[in-house]
């Protein structure tokens, strides 16, 4: 006899994942068939959870759907949270826009260590595999959706990845429970809809009636390979760090190390390194060019792909997120970090010390106890010098070379100074020996590109101390 949905959740959440019925979870609740089935099954087993709905605002009835979700949650006695996805003009496809924006908004709701549950199931996994294969994805893409992964300081978990979608449908039908039908699910403009409505049924007619479960098994097998690949990278990274000790969180790799790797190992190492740093992976052509350039002596060469900038100089390959092209609207002038958290012009900060609001790869940590008076944002000027931790004056130009700031970013790089002439940090670049920051200070500062401000809580930035 097949395990029913409620029994599956008891086993997965409480036995396999070690949660309890009292653990406060957040459910991504769209009101559609799948999230409705998960909502009612969690409610039936007595699991504590909050229903969170994200209104994408692009369908005329989206406000009605949000109201319907709130009615369902209120009637069931489940706490409800509504968030709106801000308008976006990035040109990104609607599917990717919705997914990225939704997770970005939901991430803000998660307390440290809290879990967000989503209702993707086995059929969704098969669709994801096919979509990734048609994009030419590697192992990470073909492994499709993981059961669990970090999301901010919380955890994104998918407890139904081995459950057929039909089980969710039958669960609701047998109990007379309704759901919202989003017409986008059948809209052929969307790639996932075409895979679901046309490609998988065609495979069934051609003699593969069990295509979805078979494809999902392939994704699971590749997920095992991805785990082995990640273990290999951890060992390689440990060897690398012994040979090239790290200064803070350096965004650079030694060219002589990369040149010693066989090409296949090079590609795997670089992909894992970028994943580790939460940076975008290169396209196949970009990776080919990068391999070619790093195989021979290179100086002052720049290469970028969507989301990443690279710079080869002095025997190093520097890599950093590609959003550090500061404009005149970036940080400048006095700054008083007197509120616990907030957003300035091109940067954000938090005094919680838990890393919950900042991408770990570029966060700067400072001890507020050593900061006296106002701080000052400025930009590099010819002949500028700074005081290091020992009180010595050094040319700023030399430090910028050591840190790997390329010439095309130097003129507008935001610098944070204290009142004694110490350079506290260079926004977006790692902490460096001799600067005023610490590795574990509670005050965190990180770049905050303006096009992402709508996804963060906004605080007033005081112009004078309290």
Q: What is the pLDDT of residues 29-65, one digit of tens each?
A: 999 999 999 999 999 999 999 999 999 877 778 889 9
What's the predicted TM-score (pTM) here?
Answer: 0.69
Residues 91 and 30 placed together within one structural domain of the fold: yes
Pair of tokens at residue 437: 């920051």
Given a cut of 50, whether residue 359 has pLDDT beyond it is: no
Q: What is the pLDDT of residues 167-192, one digit of tens each?
A: 999 999 999 999 998 777 777 888 88
Residues 25 and 124 placed together within one structural domain of the fold: yes
Flag the least confident range among 153-167, 208-222, 240-254, 264-278: 240-254
**CATH (domain of 211):** 3.40.50.620
Tell me, yes or no, whether 417 lies in a domain.
yes
The 3-state DSSP class for residue 442 equals coil
Percent helix / strand / coil, the chain, rounded to 5: 40, 20, 40
Tell me, yes or no, whether 174 lies in a domain.
yes
Chosen domain end from 321, 345, 365? 321
Residues 420 and 451 placed together within one structural domain of the fold: yes
Select the more confidently predicted residue: 399 or 361. Answer: 399
Residues 267 and 352 placed together within one structural domain of the fold: no
Q: Which of 396, 377, 378 is nearest to 387 (CA)?
A: 396
Residues 50 and 178 placed together within one structural domain of the fold: yes
Output the CA angle 125-129-132, nearest 5 degrees.
135
pLDDT reported for residue 53? 95
Tell me, yes or no, whether 223 lies in a domain.
no
Tell me, yes or no, whether 462 lies in a domain.
no
**CATH (domain of 248):** 3.30.465
Residues 252 and 209 placed together within one structural domain of the fold: no
Share of the chain above pLDDT 90, in %: 40
Residues 306 and 397 placed together within one structural domain of the fold: no
Residue 79 has a CB neighbour count (10 Å cut-off) of 13
Q: What is the pLDDT of residues 227-274, one digit of tens each?
A: 999 999 999 999 999 998 876 556 789 999 999 999 999 999 999 998
d(CA 78, CA 52): 10
Q: What is the DSSP string of 345-408?
A: SSEEEESS-S-TTS-TTT-EEE-GGG--S-EEEE---TT-EEE-TTS-EEEHHHHHHHHT--TT
Q: What is the DSSP string of 251-301?
A: -EEEHHHHHHS-HHHHHHHHHHHHHHTT-PPPPHHHHHHHHHHHTS---SE
Chosen domain end from 216, 231, 254? 216
Averaged pLDDT, 318-332: 74
DSSP secondary structure code for residue 111 in this structure: P
Chosen domain end from 165, 200, 216? 216
Residues 99 and 207 placed together within one structural domain of the fold: yes
Q: How many domains does the chain have?
A: 3
Range of the domain at 65: 5-216
Tell me, yes or no, whether 328 lies in a domain.
no
Flag the least confident range among 28-32, 240-244, 372-376, 431-435: 431-435
Residues 407 and 260 placed together within one structural domain of the fold: no
Residues 253 and 401 placed together within one structural domain of the fold: no
Tell me, yes or no, whether 236 lies in a domain.
no
pLDDT reported for residue 371? 61
Q: How far is CA 298 from CA 292, 295, 311, 312, 400, in A?
A: 10, 9, 10, 6, 19
Residues 287 and 366 placed together within one structural domain of the fold: no
Residues 271 and 345 placed together within one structural domain of the fold: no
């Amino acid at each position: 006899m097949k395990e029913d949905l409620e029994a599956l959740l008891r086993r997965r959440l409480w036995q396999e994942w070690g949660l309890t019925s009292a653990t406060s979870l957040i459910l991504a609740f769209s009101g559609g068939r799948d999230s409705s089935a998960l909502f009612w099954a969690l409610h039936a087993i007595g699991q504590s959870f909050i229903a969170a709905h994200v209104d994408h605002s692009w369908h005329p009835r989206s406000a009605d759907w949000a109201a319907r979700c709130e009615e369902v949650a209120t009637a069931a006695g489940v706490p409800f949270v509504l968030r709106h996805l801000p308008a976006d003009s990035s040109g990104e496809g609607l599917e990717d826009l919705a997914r990225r924006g939704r997770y970005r908004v939901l991430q803000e709701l998660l307390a440290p260590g809290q879990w967000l549950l989503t209702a993707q199931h086995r059929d969704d996994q098969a669709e994801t595999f096919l979509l990734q294969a048609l994009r030419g994805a590697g192992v990470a893409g073909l492994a499709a959706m993981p059961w669990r992964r970090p999301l901010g300081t919380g955890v994104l978990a998918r407890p139904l990845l081995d459950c057929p979608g039909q089980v969710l449908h039958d669960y609701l039908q047998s109990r007379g429970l309704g759901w919202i039908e989003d017409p986008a699910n059948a809209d052929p403009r969307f790639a996932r809809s075409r895979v679901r409505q046309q490609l998988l049924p065609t495979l069934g007619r051609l003699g593969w009636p069990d295509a979805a479960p078979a494809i999902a098994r392939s994704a699971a097998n590749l997920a095992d390979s991805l785990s082995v690949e990640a273990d290999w990278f951890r060992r390689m990274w440990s060897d690398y760090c012994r040979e090239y000790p790290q200064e803070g969180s350096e965004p650079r790799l030694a060219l002589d190390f990369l040149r010693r790797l066989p090409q296949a190992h090079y590609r795997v190492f670089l992909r894992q390194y970028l994943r580790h740093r939460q940076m975008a992976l290169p396209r196949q052509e970009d990776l080919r060019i990068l391999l070619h350039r790093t195989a021979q002596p290179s100086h002052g060469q720049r290469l970028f792909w969507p989301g990443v900038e690279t710079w080869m100089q002095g025997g190093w390959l520097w890599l950093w997120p590609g959003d550090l092209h500061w404009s005149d609207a970036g940080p400048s002038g006095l700054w008083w970090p007197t509120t616990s958290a907030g957003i300035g012009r091109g940067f954000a900060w938090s005094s919680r010390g838990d890393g919950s609001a900042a991408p770990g790869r570029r966060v700067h940590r400072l001890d507020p106890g050593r900061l006296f008076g106002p701080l000052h944002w400025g930009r590099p000027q010819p002949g500028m010098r700074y005081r290091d931790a020992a009180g010595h004056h050094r040319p700023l130009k030399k430090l910028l070379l050591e840190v790997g700031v390329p010439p095309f970013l130097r003129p507008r790089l935001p610098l944070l100074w204290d009142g004694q002439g110490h350079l506290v940090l260079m926004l977006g670049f790692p902490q460096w020996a001799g600067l005023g920051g610490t590795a574990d200070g509670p005050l965190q500062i990180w770049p905050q590109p303006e096009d992402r401000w709508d996804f963060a809580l906004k605080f007033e930035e005081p112009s004078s101390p309290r």
